[in-house]
Structure 1
Amino acid sequence: MKAGVKLPEVTFRTRVRDESVGGSNPFRWEDKTTADYFAGKRVILFSLPGAFTPTCSTYQLPGFEEGFEDFKAQGIDEIYCMSVNDSFVMNKWAEAQDLKNVKVIPDGSGEFTRKMGMLVAKDNLGFGMRSWRYAAIIKDGVIEAWFEEPGMSDNHGEDPYGESSPENVKEYLTKEAQDKAA
């Protein structure tokens, strides 16, 4: 669907650990751009409705985290998890999930998600505007493969999950490798 599309250029407001700050919360603001995350790399980006939510915390994020070495063996340099949450929330979620491999990207204002055409209202859950669940394989800032959950709509009564799962993305990469070898 979106294969061949270049990612939108946005600036992400992140908080990074910096011991020179001192105190119990040694973090400082650091702006990162789309290019900082995606230029010159082949990555998996997956986006989901919210940090700390059940499907995201139980299946999707842990699946990508645990499968990192397999993805790396298939030519993936980085795996990024994005949500329309601020950097404080995303950092705490990464800590709670004990992430070692997957990196989180905060899209606090939803600008990237909106420009991707994936921003939906989740007022029925008290969330406000959030990302529809999707995954993508991105090479040097251009979408190579797209995995979007069906039924994208505002205030959807369900949270479909399957198309953007780590298992589905891995299956795609395996088939791609087999096709290239044939």
Structure 2
Amino acid sequence: MLFINTFLGDGMIFIYNCFGGTHSSSLASAVHLNKLPQDRIPTKDEILNTDYFNKLSYKDMGRIIYRGTDEEGNKVFSVGRGTSRVLLPCLKNLITMLHNECGLNEKIVLSNMTPTVTFPMTVGGFLSRGLGIDFLGVPLLLIGAQQAYRNIVEVVKFTKESAKTLKDPVLVLLNNKGGRIY
């Protein structure tokens, strides 16, 4: 019930998702909440000080983490989905059911951040989170995060704009070149 009560309220709900929920989703959440700049690439320290950046582990996958409330009163969350191909369709079905059966009124946008991930982020994340080799992984993560940053900002902007036209209870944004929305 605490989970549902956290969701209930006025406004829209944004859930940024990626493999681990600790890199691109953390940065996207921070951009959405104006905790990171949109007009420049953040410094390495700004990236490292982003909430949850490179802090989550495998056991956190599937955990929906509240990141804050934006300037319009919308709640922002993130989730790591691992290799699951069923998590997003499951969440979409669950949200639709909650709308139809339980009185949930908030519209929810699930935005996939995986297409923004660069090769150095992938390798750095594997080394740091997967193998615990931070002295190699973290520098690669920082290089990759700075390379990906403009794309992350663009996806966040697209996510916010897409939400304004949302008519259904839930919108899943794939954010890849082949198909943005389903």
- What TM-score, normalized to structure 2? 0.32
Higher helix share goes to which structure? 2
Instruction: Tell me the TM-score normalised to structure 1 length.
Output: 0.32
Choose between structure 1 and 2: higher strand proportion: 1
